[in-house]
Structure 1
Amino acid sequence: MNKWIRGTNATVLSLAVIGIFIVLTIFLNSAKNMQVDLTQNNKFTLSDQTKQTLSALDKDIRILSFTTTETNPYMKREVVELVEEYKKRSGRITFEEYDAVANPAVAKQYEVDPAGTLVVQSGEQKKTLPFYDMFLPSQQNPNGYSFSGEEKLTQALVNFNVKEKRKLYFLSGHNEIPLTQMTLWRSGLESANYEVKELNLLREGKIPDDAEMLVIVGPETDLSDKEAELVKAYMDGKGKLYLALGFNPDMSSKWKNIDALMSAYGIKDQHAVAIEPKQSAMYDPLSIVPEYSGHEITRKLQEYNLLTVMTLAVTLKVDQPNADYPATAILSTTDKAYGETDLKALAGQGTSKKDAADVAGPLELGFVVENKEKKPKAVVLGGSTFLVDRYIQQQGNRDFALNSVGWLQEQKDQVTIRPREGDNLSTALVTGEQANMIFLGTVVVFPLLFLLIGGFIWWRRRKG
């Protein structure tokens, strides 16, 4: 009798589990758009910029994927899944997949690469995105890659709404950081529809009339008096300035005109380098992780806990406020930080010890300047190393750099969190024989082994 009851209970429990499984399967199948991203850094979640772009679409977008047998299946899967996610988010998007060999008439209309091509089309406008442009080679693994498809696809959609590019001029001639060392920032600016040009005032003799913004990054030597006059005249008009200071042990005696440029907005260079003792075991004291003020430029970074890292940052302060151009601090240190004023010793020894001559914290490392009408006029930063290729990919550096330009140009859609590059993924090279072994092992051998072990245990218990 007891044996019959135990058998009945086991049968009922099994039927209940199967029933729950069936109901759960039906529910999940009906909730097709419900997704939960449990990956680190939400790698499968679209960025804020992408969501904003999709919600603002006011025209129909047609996306076509062309692949052949030469297309890497892993790349194809990543691209198709990404586009499908865009399609879910916007009814304006249609998506079509083509085999370029089987559909030569359609493929002939576009510049199709055998390795895979994505075409984004809106009316007469068209953007072609080869698959290999979306996959960046890994620096650590020769067979690895990181996926930047979301960034490329979102910028293609953004560009459809742009009529004219804004021109940004980067000043040269004072040992500034060259554009060749800021290729990632430049690429980000160009993707956001800015035209980036270099400007040497000694050669050109003036700031071009079409300059939307003058950018000075990491100058080591001062502007000449005539150059300073040209910049002042430009700023007295409708000009806008992006100034990111660099380190120079002689800045206190050789930056007369750069200091005067900042003082026009009440900002003073304290000729000191910020030191933050024991801020993080991951950084030396010369590397600062500033605290955000909650300004529009940094609000999203603060929300997503994306930090900005600056090295050899020059400390700033508002000395004599200018009522016509009020300055607001957006980056600051903790009260434990101090400003090292012995710059020559710092440059020579690379170490610092706090003394009475140093500037007490908390310290300011970045300001934004507006005019009386609350319109952006300037961004002044105490550091510039975070803009170079080596550092700009760290945490929020890239977003901060692009957000500050977007704010200065009054483009709210460019003050956001942008798509991140995907994690470095590796592709394994497997022969046909190895693939068959993997299949037999996982689909046949292991399940059969578990079945035999389970049957043996059941038989032993029945016998016992």
Structure 2
Amino acid sequence: MNKWIRGTNATVLSLAVIGIFIVLTIFLNSAKNLQVDLTENNKFTLSDQTKQTLGTLDKDIKIISLTTTDTNPYMKREVTELVQEYKKRTGKITFEEYDAVQNPAVAKQYEVSPAGTLVVQSGNQKKTLNFYDMFLPSQQNPNGYSFAGEEKLTQALVNLDVKEKRKLYFLSGHNEIPLAEMGLWRTGLEDANYEVKELNLLRDGKIPDDAEVLAIIGPENDLSDQEADLIKTFLSGKGKLYLALGFNPDMSAAWKNLDGVMSAYGIKDQHAVAIEPKQSAMNSPLSIVPEYSGHEITRKLQEYNLLTVMTLAVTLNADQPNADFPATPILKTTAAAYGETDLKTLSAQGSSKKDATDVAGPLNLGYVVESKDKKPKAVVLGGSTFLVDQFIQMQGNRDFALNSIGWLQEQTDQVTIRPREGDNLSTALVTNEQANFIFLGTVILFPLLFLLIGGGIWWRRRKG
């Protein structure tokens, strides 16, 4: 009788536990917004900016992940988990995953990176994010990483709501760097709702009325008198200037018109190339890692420890400031640097030695110009090679290029979400023998041991 009662109690207790588990499972499944993030870095906790953006979505968003076998599995997991968190918080987002190789028709619609591509789309509007743009070097662990995916994805959602594209014209006709060689920067600008066009003043005869910013990137020849007059007229109104100089051994002779455009803001081209003997960027003293000033353009880069690398950068100075348009330096070399003025010898030999004719450091490599009422007017940089596809992916080059245009255009919808420290991932190398031992132990031996122990306990109770 006692055995029957004990058996009945055990059965009832088991059924009760199973019933409680089922009810609890149904409750938790129905409470979709109930979530407790117990991860070390709160990787599943979204920022207030993201929650606000998701809460105000008024149109359907499709997010597509395109990966290949070359995609880092850790990156894929981080990005996928992030998108799933967005999807949980709004019914406006759908998420689809594709293998770009197995689905060529889908991949053909988008510019797919083998490292992984995330496409954010609503109607005819589309923003493309590369996986590797979401991952930054860790500040706390040299073997770790920081994940900036939330900032990138939320910014893409914000940009989808922008109806009007800003006009950005790139000057040509002076051997500037062609837009075809700055494809990654151009794509980034277009994703940020800029309309990018090329402008040849000799052909077009004027700067279009809808132009907001004129970009002059890496010119190797001076402007003509007529072009200089058109540009000065444009800048005397609401027009803004983005000037990134390039190296040319003939620039040691004064470029009257280009120098005249800069002098309107009190900035002077010193016609010298910055040399940094003690830096090791790309193992070349001609490659400079400038120090940031803490300006709005560089503040986030400085906070995230992202460096900008400039090669063959021209030194600048503003020793005769314009009170109407004050210029502020934002990029500077160390005191050990100097400006090589013998450009022809530097070009011929590829090396330099400091002498009395050179410009002493520290050197300025970039300025921002504002009006009296603190409105952005110009960005003048001593280098332009960091903008080409070959170098723009290095460290903070792309972010600096986009940030400087964003500051010039007074973008007020910039999303700022601090990157989250990623897991400290390490790879264990396991031999075939070790792998077989792990398999036998975890899949066969340990389960069998628990079965034997349980069976023994059951047998003893049955006998007793």
In the TM superposition, residue 171 of structure 1 has moved relative to its aligned partner by 0.4
Residue number in structure 2 paired with 1:279: 279
Give 1:20-419 correspondences, 5 Å limit.
32-37=36-41, 52=49, 54-57=51-54, 58-60=56-58, 62-63=60-61, 80-87=80-87, 91-92=89-90, 95=93, 125=123, 153-154=153-154, 156-253=156-253, 255-280=255-280, 282-414=282-414
Structure 1 unaligned regions, length at least 5? 1-29, 39-43, 101-110, 137-146, 426-436, 454-464
Q: Distance in 2 between matches of 1:66 and 1:289?
A: 36
In the TM superposition, residue 55 of structure 1 has moved relative to its aligned partner by 3.5
Query: What is the SS of the residue equivalent to 2:214?
Result: strand
Distance 1:46 1:172, change over 3 A: farther
**Contact between 1:392 and 1:398, CA under 8 Å: does it hold in 2?**
yes
Query: What is the SS of the residue equivalent to 1:348?
Result: helix
For residues 84-103 of structure 1, give each alpha carbon's deviation from its aligned partner in whole angstroms, at most 9, with x where no partner exists.
Answer: 23346xx4565556899xxx
The number of equivalent residue pairs is: 375
**What amino acid sits opposite 2:215 in the alignment?**
V
**What amino acid sits opposite 1:390 in the alignment?**
Q
Q: Please identify, of 237-246 and 271-280, the stretch whose mean Cα deviation from structure 2 is larger.
A: 271-280
Q: Distance in 1 between matches of 2:80 and 2:384?
A: 38
For residues 256-288 of structure 1, give each alpha carbon's deviation from its aligned partner in whole angstroms, at most 9, with x where no partner exists.
Answer: 111111000000000001111112264310000
Query: What is the SS of the residue equivalent to 1:182?
Result: helix
Distance 1:236 1:149, change over 3 A: same
Q: Distance in 2 between matches of 1:232 and 1:61?
A: 43
Q: Distance in 1 between matches of 2:383 and 2:78?
A: 38
Structure 2 unaligned regions, length at least 5? 1-33, 99-108, 111-115, 133-146, 426-432, 450-464
Q: Distance in 2 between matches of 1:302 and 1:382?
A: 20
Q: Distance in 1 between matches of 2:97 and 2:239?
A: 51
**What amino acid sits opposite 2:190 in the alignment?**
E
**Contact between 1:275 and 1:339, CA under 8 Å: does it hold in 2?**
yes
In the TM superposition, residue 373 of structure 1 has moved relative to its aligned partner by 1.0
**What amino acid sits opposite 1:227 in the alignment?**
E
Q: Distance in 1 between matches of 2:381 and 2:369?
A: 11
Residue number in structure 1 paired with 2:102: none
**Contact between 2:177 and 2:217, CA under 8 Å: does it hold in 1?**
yes
Identity, in percent, stands at: 69
For residues 355-374 of structure 1, give each alpha carbon's deviation from its aligned partner in whole angstroms, at most 9, with x where no partner exists.
Answer: 10001111100000001111
Distance 1:201 1:280, change over 3 A: same
In the TM superposition, residue 189 of structure 1 has moved relative to its aligned partner by 0.2
Query: What is the SS of the residue equivalent to 2:365?
Result: strand
Q: Distance in 2 between matches of 1:348 and 1:99?
A: 53
Q: Distance in 1 between matches of 2:355 and 2:82?
A: 55
Q: Distance in 1 between matches of 2:211 and 2:247?
A: 27
Q: Distance in 1 between matches of 2:414 and 2:218?
A: 24
Distance 1:286 1:76, change over 3 A: closer
In the TM superposition, residue 207 of structure 1 has moved relative to its aligned partner by 0.3
Q: Distance in 2 between matches of 1:258 and 1:128?
A: 38
Distance 1:320 1:158, change over 3 A: same
**What amino acid sits opposite 2:287 in the alignment?**
S
In the TM superposition, residue 59 of structure 1 has moved relative to its aligned partner by 2.8
**Contact between 1:399 and 1:416, CA under 8 Å: does it hold in 2?**
no
In the TM superposition, residue 160 of structure 1 has moved relative to its aligned partner by 2.9
**Contact between 1:407 and 1:414, CA under 8 Å: does it hold in 2?**
no
**Contact between 2:252 and 2:343, CA under 8 Å: does it hold in 1?**
no
**Contact between 1:265 and 1:322, CA under 8 Å: does it hold in 2?**
yes
**Contact between 2:151 and 2:415, CA under 8 Å: does it hold in 1?**
no
Distance 1:99 1:233, change over 3 A: closer
**Contact between 2:290 and 2:332, CA under 8 Å: does it hold in 1?**
yes
Q: Distance in 1 between matches of 2:207 and 2:361?
A: 38
Q: Distance in 2 between matches of 1:87 and 1:360?
A: 56
Q: Please identify, of 91-100 and 331-340, the stretch whose mean Cα deviation from structure 2 is larger.
A: 91-100
Q: Distance in 2 between matches of 1:179 and 1:451?
A: 63
In the TM superposition, residue 302 of structure 1 has moved relative to its aligned partner by 0.7
Residue number in structure 1 paired with 2:103: none
**What amino acid sits opposite 2:378 in the alignment?**
A
For residues 229-277 of structure 1, give each alpha carbon's deviation from its aligned partner in whole angstroms, at most 9, with x where no partner exists.
Answer: 1000000111000000000111132521111110000000000011111
For residues 64-120 of structure 1, give each alpha carbon's deviation from its aligned partner in whole angstroms, at most 9, with x where no partner exists.
Answer: 5789xx999x798666422123346xx4565556899xxxxxxxxxx99xxx99996
Q: TM-score, normalised by structure 1?
A: 0.69
Q: Distance in 2 between matches of 1:415 and 1:313?
A: 30
Q: Distance in 1 between matches of 2:372 and 2:408?
A: 15
Residue number in structure 2 paired with 1:444: 440
Query: What is the SS of the residue equivalent to 1:383?
Result: coil
Query: What is the SS of the residue equivalent to 1:390?
Result: coil
Q: Distance in 1 between matches of 2:334 and 2:382?
A: 16
Q: Distance in 1 between matches of 2:391 and 2:50?
A: 27
**What amino acid sits opposite 2:272 in the alignment?**
A
